């Protein structure tokens, strides 16, 4: 296919041309250290283009060579017109997937590139290309992956780091751009996982749509930016403050009930080996007490404690809330 192994001047490679690149994120520290120790193990693949070279595969290796001020790099070079751009792009896909697992963002970039740049129709992408990158043939799945293109790079990096599943990302992609700007900021600053993302999307969406509150109004009313930028508390504490504020905004009556509920639970003075729980939003009619013990004597003590708790007025107040 017109490929030749040769030494190429590093400055003749166009690192700004992303025609064939889909790697995300592009971080070169690890590969730079590897090159310093054992030199280049795998040749890059280039596409000759009017006296310069476009990178088919090996962007991080080229960037590492430049950072080390190395003048030439070994490369397999495809001559101009020897292959089409689509063929070159698929060489990049096969070369990358042969040495590592493609992440969800990279798969999204590949599918978007096939559709928007190479002008392939959905049915062809579904039938011929989705299986290549490890996806089932599904029109819905294709649309879910295509929709990830609307996410900013900070959100995409969080998605890759937390390995967020496509089902959650499809939910994220379904919200409006205005809502996504706030949701994305909270996710990336607090490094949220799947379950927290689901609750965040639901709360923000319901507050904006059902309670007719603007995103800017919500940010100011709940002082979200200040909470996110606070240096006095941990990420988990920031999340608890923000999600509690959102819950209170969405369910003001429930929030008042929950405060009363928590006060009464605290007044029960449960020992450390006993945990009291209640159904979320009291959508149920059962409370639960979990206990831990390591001997029959300890179990007897727990039983006596439970009898004491059953007589407390605070427990009666808790039960009345159902």
Q: Which of 89, 128, 95 is nearest to 110 (CA)?
A: 89
DSSP per-residue string spanning 224-292? HHHHHH-SSS-HHHHHHHHHHHHHHHH-HHHHHHHHHHHHHHHHT---TTEEEE--GGG-SS--EEEE-
| CATH fold of 1-100 | 3.90.1530
Residues 6+ apart with CB under 8 A from 37: none
C-beta separation of 275 from 228 below 8 A: no
75: which strand partners?
6, 44
Return the pLDDT at 211.
77
pLDDT digits (tens, 9 = 90+) for 300-318: 999 999 999 899 988 888 8
Q: What integer pLDDT is reported at residue 279 of this predicted model? A: 78
Distances in Å between the alpha carbon of 322 and those of 248, 274, 278?
Answer: 19, 22, 10
pLDDT, position 253: 67
Radius of gyration of the chain (CA): 28
Taking alpha carbons only, the member of 126, 170, 120, 118 closest to residue 148 is: 170
The domains of the chain are located at 1-100, 101-150, 151-250, 268-320
User: What own/partner pairs with CB < 8 Å and gap ≥ 24 does 44-47 have?
Assistant: 44/73, 44/74, 44/75, 44/76, 45/75, 45/76, 45/78, 45/91, 45/92, 45/95, 46/8, 46/13, 46/75, 46/76, 46/77, 46/78, 47/20, 47/77, 47/78, 47/80, 47/83, 47/88
Q: Which two tokens stand for residue 51?
A: 């006296």
The per-residue pLDDT for 260 is 80
pLDDT for 281 equals 65
Integer Cα distance of 52 and 46 in angstroms = 10
Return the H-helix or E-strand segment holding 5. Answer: strand 3-9
User: What CA–CA distance (Å, rounded) separates 6 from 72?
Assistant: 10
Q: Which of 148, 119, 133 is nearest to 90 (CA)?
A: 133
Distance CA 164, CA 188 (A): 12
Contacts of 62 (CB under 8 A, 6+ apart): 10, 13, 15, 44, 55, 73
pLDDT for 243: 93
Q: Which residues of the chain have pLDDT under 50?
A: none
Return the structure tokens found at 31: 């590969």
What's the DSSP call for residue 183? Answer: H
SS3 (DSSP) at 4: strand
- Give the pTM: 0.79
Determine how many CB atoms are found less than 10 A away from the CB of residue 139: 12
What are the distances in angstroms from CA 159 to CA 37, 131, 147?
Answer: 31, 22, 14
Q: H/E element holding 314?
A: helix 313-320
Instruction: Note whether 118 and 86 are within 8 A (CB).
Output: yes
């Amino acid at each position: 296919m017109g490929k030749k192994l040769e030494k190429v001047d590093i400055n003749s490679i166009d690192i700004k041309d992303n025609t064939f690149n889909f790697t995300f994120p592009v971080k070169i520290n690890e590969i730079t250290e590897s090159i310093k120790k054992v030199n280049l193990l795998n040749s890059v693949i280039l596409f000759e283009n009017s006296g310069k070279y476009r990178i088919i595969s090996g962007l991080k290796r080229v960037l590492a060579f430049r950072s080390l001020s190395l003048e030439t790099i070994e490369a397999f070079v495809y001559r101009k017109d020897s292959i089409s751009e689509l063929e070159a792009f698929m060489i990049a896909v096969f070369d990358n997937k042969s040495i590592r697992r493609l992440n969800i963002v990279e798969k999204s970039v590949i599918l978007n590139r096939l559709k928007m740049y190479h002008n392939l129709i959905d049915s062809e992408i579904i039938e011929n290309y989705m299986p290549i990158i490890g996806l089932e043939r599904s029109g819905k799945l294709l649309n879910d992956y295509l929709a990830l293109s609307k996410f900013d790079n900070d959100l995409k990096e969080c998605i890759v780091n937390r390995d967020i599943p496509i089902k959650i990302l499809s939910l994220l992609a379904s919200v409006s751009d205005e809502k996504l700007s706030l949701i994305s900021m909270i996710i990336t600053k607090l490094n949220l996982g799947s379950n927290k993302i689901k609750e965040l999307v639901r709360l923000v969406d319901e507050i904006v749509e059902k309670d007719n509150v603007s995103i800017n109004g919500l940010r100011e009313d709940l002082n979200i930016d200040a909470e996110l930028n606070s240096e006095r508390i941990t990420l988990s504490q920031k999340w608890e403050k923000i999600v509690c504020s959102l819950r209170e905004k969405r369910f003001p009556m429930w929030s008042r009930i929950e405060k009363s509920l928590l006060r009464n639970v605290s007044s029960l003075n449960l020992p450390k080996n006993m945990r009291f729980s209640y159904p979320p939003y009291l959508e149920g009619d059962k409370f639960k007490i979990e206990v831990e013990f390591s001997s029959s004597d300890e179990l007897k003590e727990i039983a006596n404690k439970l009898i004491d708790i059953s007589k407390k007025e605070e427990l009666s107040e808790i039960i009345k809330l159902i």
